[in-house]
């Protein structure tokens, strides 16, 4: 039995308990009611959710009244406030289990003739991606360096404000998330990174202690490295920052490109390829929030602040399912089997396994509030704060 001998942890638990008590009032309470409805019907469609309202709250009300109540959640400019509240809850829940990997990507879908384009940053937790911050870009195009930096700075500021120590994070991203100003900004913020490069890019090279004036295409560098038996070369960003250019084989047998080009500021290059492959976890997260989980694409809500609030609700619901899977020993409980492609996978994903256990536990709003409070206190006890000690 763990005995806590220091008052700071008890104070922290009391603080979080106070947060949970405040959730019983106002907009956040209604959001949790909607989250409970989404869990029951596995859809974020408000027409489906309103049917579950009476079972969740015990309150009899007309369908039109419930639907209007749910719609009013999104008819506000307070998306950032809801987002920050959910960020704090999620970070406290997953903190004891996170790995120091930060992944960035986008997911797109349409609502009528309008494109929803969500830019998302998240951390890795027990092999799955946990979304932390997100933004609907309001356009179909790729994100700009400025848009990425604004969202990243929001994540770093909120993390600092949470009071939880932030580890040195390694950012993982695909070919879209490049740009010399962006890479320089990551370096200045103390982040390590592994990002895939487009094959047609050109960089200056740092070679034998000298900066070469001419920019060289990456394909040319790759051929030179192969000829000389080099596993990496140093390239220069903005005539100031020296980074490592690494070429690794492409594991995808159907890919047109036999090699993957990566850029990193890591000194240990032996794990670069393995780190980059962790990026795929964000695609699995998007699948769970969409077709395999809560039907994100079925929403009819239009507007960036509405998408910010809706994604906040789904992210919290998703994390509760993930936590349930972790705490019920997913690794040893769910068996593996060989699929038709010859590969061996778990019979169920961590998300699906956790969701099946979670649903009966939080069948109504009272159970959800109690479960959330107990889960937060448990996670706080698991995390050994630097200024705490356990016996």
DSSP string for 321-334:
HHHHHHHTTHHHHS
pTM of the model: 0.88
Which pLDDT score is estimated for 391? Answer: 23
pLDDT above 50: residue 91:
yes
Kindly state the average pLDDT of the residues 276-298: 86
pLDDT above 90: residue 354:
yes
Q: How far is CA 89 from CA 159, 209, 317, 354, in A?
A: 11, 49, 11, 18
Q: How far apart are CA 102 and CA 171, in angstroms?
A: 5
- Mean pLDDT value across the chain: 85
pLDDT above 80: residue 279:
yes
Which pLDDT score is estimated for 347? Answer: 85
Kindly state the average pLDDT of the residues 187-195: 95
Share above pLDDT 90 across residues of the chain, in percent, rounded to a whole number: 38
Which pLDDT score is estimated for 120? Answer: 95
Q: Which residue is associated with the tokens 């990174």?
A: 193
The burial of 8, by beta-carbon neighbours within 10 Å (0-12 exposed, 13-18 middle, 19 or more buried), is given as: exposed
Which pLDDT score is estimated for 386? Answer: 35
**Model confidence pLDDT, tens digit, residues 240-277:** 899 999 999 887 766 778 889 999 999 889 889 989 98
**Exposure string (b/e) for 245-273, b if CB count within 10 Å is 16 or more?**
bbbbeeeeeeeeeeebbbbbbbeeeeebb
Return the higher-pLDDT residue of 110 and 356: 356
pLDDT above 60: residue 6:
no
Which pLDDT score is estimated for 72? Answer: 86
Q: Is residue 218 within 8 Å of residue 202, measured between CB atoms?
A: yes
**Model confidence pLDDT, tens digit, residues 36-59:** 999 999 998 899 999 999 999 998
Which pLDDT score is estimated for 291? Answer: 80
Tokens standing for 358? 């979670």
The region that residue 236 occupies, defined by phi over 0 for left and psi between -120 and 50 for alpha, beta otherwise, is: beta
Which pLDDT score is estimated for 384? Answer: 53
Q: How far apart are CA 67 and CA 61, in angstroms?
A: 10
Kindly state the average pLDDT of the residues 165-184: 92
Q: How far is CA 101 from CA 66, 170, 248, 311, in A?
A: 40, 5, 20, 21
Tokens standing for 233? 């070369």
Q: Residue 315 — pLDDT band, cuts 50, 70, 90?
A: very high
pLDDT above 50: residue 1:
no
Return the higher-pLDDT residue of 34 and 336: 34
Kindly state the average pLDDT of the residues 333-358: 85
Q: How far apart are CA 98 and CA 162, in angstroms?
A: 15
Return the higher-pLDDT residue of 262 and 212: 262
pLDDT above 80: residue 317:
yes
Average the pLDDT over each of 22-26, 68-72, 142-146, 244-248 and give the range with the smallest value: 22-26
Which pLDDT score is estimated for 11? Answer: 55
Closest CA to 109 of 296, 238, 234: 296
Kindly state the average pLDDT of the residues 173-191: 94
Kindly state the average pLDDT of the residues 122-131: 91
């Amino acid at each position: 039995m763990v005995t806590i001998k220091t008052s700071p942890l008890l104070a922290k638990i009391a603080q979080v308990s106070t947060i949970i008590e405040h959730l019983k009032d106002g907009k956040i309470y209604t959001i949790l009611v909607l989250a409970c409805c989404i869990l029951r019907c596995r859809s974020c469609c408000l027409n489906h959710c309103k049917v579950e309202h009476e079972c969740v709250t015990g309150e009899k009300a007309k369908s039109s009244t419930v639907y209007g109540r749910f719609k009013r959640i999104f008819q506000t400019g307070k998306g950032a406030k809801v987002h920050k509240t959910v960020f704090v809850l999620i970070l406290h829940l997953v903190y004891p289990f996170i790995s120091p990997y930060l992944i960035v990507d986008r997911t797109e879908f349409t609502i009528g003739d309008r494109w929803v384009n969500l830019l998302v940053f998240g951390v890795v937790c027990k092999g799955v991606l946990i979304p932390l911050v997100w933004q609907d870009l309001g356009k179909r195009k790729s994100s700009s360096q400025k848009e990425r930096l604004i969202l990243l700075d929001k994540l770093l500021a909120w993390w600092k404000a949470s009071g939880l120590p932030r580890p040195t994070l390694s950012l993982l991203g695909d070919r879209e998330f490049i740009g010399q100003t962006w890479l320089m900004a990551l370096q200045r913020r103390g982040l390590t990174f592994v990002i895939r490069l487009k094959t047609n890019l050109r960089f200056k090279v740092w070679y034998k202690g000298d900066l070469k004036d001419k920019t060289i295409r990456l394909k040319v560098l790759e051929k030179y490295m192969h000829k000389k038996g080099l596993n990496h070369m140093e390239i220069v960003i903005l005539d100031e920052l020296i980074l490592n250019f690494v070429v690794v084989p492409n594991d995808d047998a159907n890919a047109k490109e036999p090699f993957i080009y990566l850029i990193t500021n890591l000194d240990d290059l032996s794990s670069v390829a393995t780190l980059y492959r962790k990026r795929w976890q964000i695609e699995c997260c998007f699948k769970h929030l969409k077709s395999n989980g809560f039907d994100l694409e079925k929403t009819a809500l239009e507007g960036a602040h509405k998408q910010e609030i809706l994604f906040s609700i789904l992210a919290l619901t998703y994390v509760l399912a993930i936590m349930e899977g972790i705490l019920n020993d997913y690794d040893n409980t769910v068996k593996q089997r060989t699929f038709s492609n010859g590969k061996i996978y778990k019979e169920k994903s961590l998300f699906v396994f956790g969701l099946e256990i979670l649903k009966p536990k939080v069948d109504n709003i009272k159970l959800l509030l109690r479960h959330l409070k107990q889960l937060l206190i448990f996670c706080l006890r698991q995390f050994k704060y630097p200024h705490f000690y356990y016996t």
